[in-house]
Structure formats: structure tokens, C-alpha cells
């Protein structure tokens, strides 16, 4: 029988630093809630808004798979591997921090804010060589169907990470329904609604709600209004 | 009395950052060690409550360190530190101490 967990949007941790307004689905930085530590290998889901001209200064990471999905505006990334890139809505960035990297992320635009999801997944092996990847997705490929944006395989669709994980984005019209078949044995899926009303089996979710489902092979997604959502399939044991 | 925390990691700048972040909490005091020998020496010299195993520590070193620490203090709490910065550090420490 499937197990589930519901995280309503308003129950997330919240930190407003002025230049950065962040909602945390799981314990992060100064937000600590022992009931909200992770969903399997999914450890961080931050819903960040960065003011115009502001950003995260140079800071380190190690042993974590870090995925950024811009929702609005452009974010400039610079790292200690000499990568300089701008990610914008429609892109996805994946970084394996491994043995250690430094990076910065800035909103270079003087007028427009940036909204992006910052997602951390525990790696399936520690101390890997750091790596960075970024691709531009075709937005049409998620209209009324699931678009794979991340997998464990370098030659598969989307970016890849060091974990048995698959991410999909969907932008569905009202009334459209699909079935999601879990790919990895022992995996669960964390559904995050970007906007609109979405039903997972019989559970209604609203904008920015999160819903984890595991111990099942598949589930049904039906959108009650036009809606966008992100599915994050991750191992529950890692 | 402050909670003494031993942070071990191979990347000098990240280790320095972790020590600084831990020490931002007035109830905690961190000591950093970049090598196994430094870590074992530090552990022998003062009573730690918690060990944070950071990035770059090979499995053999990890096993050797854990065995050495537990031989000196069977109650020592040893946890992995992931992420290399402020994101998970405080939750990892709170979780371990509670």
C-alpha cells in the first residue's frame, strides 16, 4: 500500500533576508524542523526569489548533487572550475559538488527579480570529481506530457546526476491526466506544484504544495486547473 | 560550557568555512582537522561531543578514524556533514545532539 506525506505550501520554512526571500520544504540553514529533514535522497527544496542586482556571493559546497531550475529571470553562475554561465527560465543546471567547489550566483538584472528552485539530492557516491552541466529545455515538450529533465544516465534526456533519480516537469491544461510509473525499485516521488491545482490519485494539491508518495509502482496525476508541476523521483533508502 | 565539535575535511577552505560557521553559534566550539593524524591528535587532547566527517575523507580513513575515536570515547557522536556549507550544517548538528 502506498505511503504518502503532504506538505502544504504555508507550512514550509520561511526566511526573508531582504534581498533573498526563501521558502524551505525541508530543514535548511537556520530553519530546523526535525519532521522535515528530507524525502529519501531529496534533502533540499528551496523556493527562492532574489532581488534585482543581488545574489549569493562565493560559497563552498561538497558531496551534494545540486540542481537549479529558474522559473523567472536570469541567474549568473560562476564557479571554481572556471564555468561562467547564465541560467534562465527553460534551463536546468546540475552540479556535482563532490570533493569541493566554490561558486556564486547573481541576478545581474537591475530591474527584474529572479525566481528559482534550488534542489539538493544526496549523492550515491562521495568524493566524486566536481562537475557542472547546464542545458536548455524545449518548453513545448512538457505541454500535456511529462518532460524528463534529469536522470542518472549521461546519455538520457535532461541533465544527469550521481543518484538513481529522475525529474520530470509537466505543464498541463485543465482536465488532462497522466500516469507516472516509478522507474527505480524502492524509489518514491515528491510532487511539487509550481502553479495551479493538481490531484495525485485522490489528493488535491494547490500552488507550491509538496506531496511525497512511495511504496507504490505508479500513481495518477490529474490537473484541476491549468497547472505546472515538478516530479522528483528519488531513492527512499540511500 | 560550549559543546566541543571536531570537524574533519580534506578541502582546506571548506574546512575553514565549516569551522567558522559552527563557531557562529555561541554554544558550540569547533576545531578543524585536515588530516587523520591531526584529527586523532586533537581528539586525544580534548573532550569532543560530536565529530563531523566532511568532504574528501576516503572510506579507509573514515573507518580508521571512527575506530580510533570510539576506542577513546565510546559515546562519541559521529555524523557525516554534507553540502560543505551553511545549508545543512546546523540541522545536522541539532539532529545529532538531540
Domain of residue B66 covers 3-97
Radius of gyration of chain A (CA): 17
Q: Which residue of A has its CA nearest to B24?
A: A30
Chain B CB contacts of A64 under 8 Å are 82-84
DSSP states of B26-87 as a string?
TTEEEEEESSHHHHHHHHHHS--SEEEE-TT--HHHHHHHHHHHHHH-TT-EEEE--SSSHH
ipTM greater than cut 0.95: no
Chain A nearest-CA distance from B84, in A, is: 4
* CATH code given to domain A139-235: 2.60.120.10
Q: Given this model, what pLDDT does residue A1 score? A: 87
Chain B CB contacts of A29 under 8 Å are 86-87, 90
Chain A CB contacts of B87 under 8 Å are 28-29, 44, 120
How far is the C-alpha of A73 from the C-alpha of A86, rounded, in Å? 10
Chain A CB contacts of B9 under 8 Å are 62
How far is the C-alpha of A38 from the C-alpha of A68, rounded, in Å? 18
Region A215-225: mean pLDDT is 98
HSE-CB for A59 with a 13 A CA cutoff: 13
Average pLDDT of chain A is 97
**Contact of A97 with A63, CB cutoff 8 Å:** yes
CA distances to A33, A130, A140, A222, B97 from A195, rounded to whole Å, are 25, 33, 17, 14, 38
Mutate to test the interface with A, among B52, B58, B83 (most CBs of A within 10 A): B83
Which of A32, A63, A100 lies nearest to residue B94, judging by beta carbons? A32
Q: Which residue of A has its CA nearest to B12?
A: A100
Angle ∠(A20,A114,A19) on CA atoms, nearest 5: 20
Please write the tens of the pLDDT for every residue from A130-148: 999 999 999 999 999 999 9
Q: Which residue of A has its CA nearest to B25?
A: A30
Q: Over pLDDT 70: what percentage of chain A?
A: 100
Q: What is the CATH number of the domain that holds B62?
A: 3.40.50.2300
Chain A CB contacts of B91 under 8 Å are 27-28, 32, 37
Cβ contact (<8 Å) for B82 and A63? yes
Please write the tens of the pLDDT for every residue from A9-60: 999 999 999 999 999 999 999 999 999 999 999 999 999 999 999 999 999 9
**Domain limits, chain A:** 13-136, 139-235
CB atoms closer than 10 angstroms to residue A193: 21
Cβ contact (<8 Å) for A44 and B56? no
Chain B CB contacts of A100 under 8 Å are 10-11, 13-14, 55-56, 84
Please give the tally of structural domains in chain B.
Answer: 1
One of 3.30.70.930, 2.60.120.10, 3.40.50.10860, 3.30.70.20 is the CATH number of A13-136, namely: 2.60.120.10
Please write the tens of the pLDDT for every residue from B22-58: 999 999 999 999 999 999 999 999 999 999 999 999 9
Nearest C-alpha neighbor of A24 from the set A208, A205, A218: A208
Two domains, one topology: A13-136 and A139-235: yes
Q: Given this model, what pLDDT does residue B64 score? A: 97
CB atoms closer than 10 angstroms to residue A189: 26
Under 8 Å CB-to-CB from A170, ≥6 apart: which residues? A142, A144, A145, A146, A147, A178, A221, A227, A228, A229, A231
**Is the model's pLDDT at B85 over the cut of 90?**
no
Please write the tens of the pLDDT for every residue from A100-136: 999 999 998 999 999 999 999 999 999 999 999 999 9
Size of interface A-B (CB pairs under 8 A): 75
Amino acid at each position: 500500500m502506498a505511503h504518502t506525506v503532504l506538505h502544504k505550501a504555508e507550512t514550509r520554512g520561511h526566511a526573508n533576508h531582504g534581498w533573498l526571500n526563501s521558502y524551505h520544504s525541508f530543514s535548511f540553514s537556520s530553519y530546523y524542523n526535525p519532521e522535515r529533514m528530507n524525502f529519501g535522497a531529496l534533502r533540499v527544496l528551496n523556493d527562492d526569489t532574489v532581488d534585482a542586482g543581488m545574489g549569493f556571493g562565493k560559497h563552498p559546497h561538497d558531496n551534494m548533487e545540486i540542481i537549479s531550475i529558474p522559473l523567472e529571470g536570469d541567474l549568473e553562475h560562476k564557479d571554481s572550475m572556471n564555468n561562467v554561465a547564465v541560467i534562465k527560465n527553460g534551463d536546468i543546471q546540475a552540479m556535482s559538488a563532490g570533493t569541493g567547489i566554490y561558486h556564486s550566483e547573481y541576478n545581474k538584472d537591475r530591474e527584474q527579480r529572479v525566481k528559482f528552485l534550488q534542489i539538493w539530492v544526496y549523492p550515491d557516491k562521495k568524493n566524486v570529481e566536481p562537475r557542472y552541466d547546464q542545458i536548455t529545455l524545449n518548453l513545448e515538450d512538457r505541454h500535456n506530457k511529462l518532460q524528463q529533465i534529469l536522470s542518472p544516465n549521461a546519455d538520457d534526456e535532461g541533465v544527469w546526476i550521481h543518484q538513481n533519480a529522475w525529474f520530470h516537469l509537466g505543464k498541463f491544461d485543465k482536465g488532462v491526466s497522466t500516469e507516472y510509473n516509478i522507474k527505480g525499485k524502492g524509489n518514491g516521488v515528491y510532487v511539487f506544484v509550481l502553479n495551479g491545482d493538481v490531484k495525485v490519485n485522490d489528493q488535491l494539491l494547490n500552488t507550491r504544495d509538496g506531496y511525497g508518495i512511495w511504496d507504490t509502482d505508479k500513481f495518477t496525476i490529474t490537473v484541476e486547473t491549468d497547472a505546472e508541476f515538478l516530479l522528483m523521483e528519488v531513492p527512499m533508502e540511500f | 560550557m560550549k559543546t566541543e565539535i571536531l570537524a574533519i575535511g580534506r578541502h582546506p577552505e571548506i574546512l575553514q568555512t565549516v569551522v567558522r560557521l559552527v563557531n557562529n553559534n555561541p554554544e558550540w566550539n569547533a576545531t578543524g582537522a585536515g588530516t587523520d593524524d591531526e584529527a586523532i591528535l586533537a581528539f586525544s587532547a580534548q573532550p569532543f561531543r560530536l565529530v563531523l566527517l566532511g568532504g574528501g575523507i576516503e572510506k579507509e580513513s573514515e573507518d580508521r578514524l571512527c575506530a580510533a575515536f570510539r576506542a577513546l570515547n565510546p559515546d562519541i557522536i559521529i555524523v557525516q556533514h554534507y553540502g560543505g556549507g551553511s545549508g545543512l550544517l546546523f540541522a545536522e548538528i541539532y539532529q545529532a545532539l538531540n
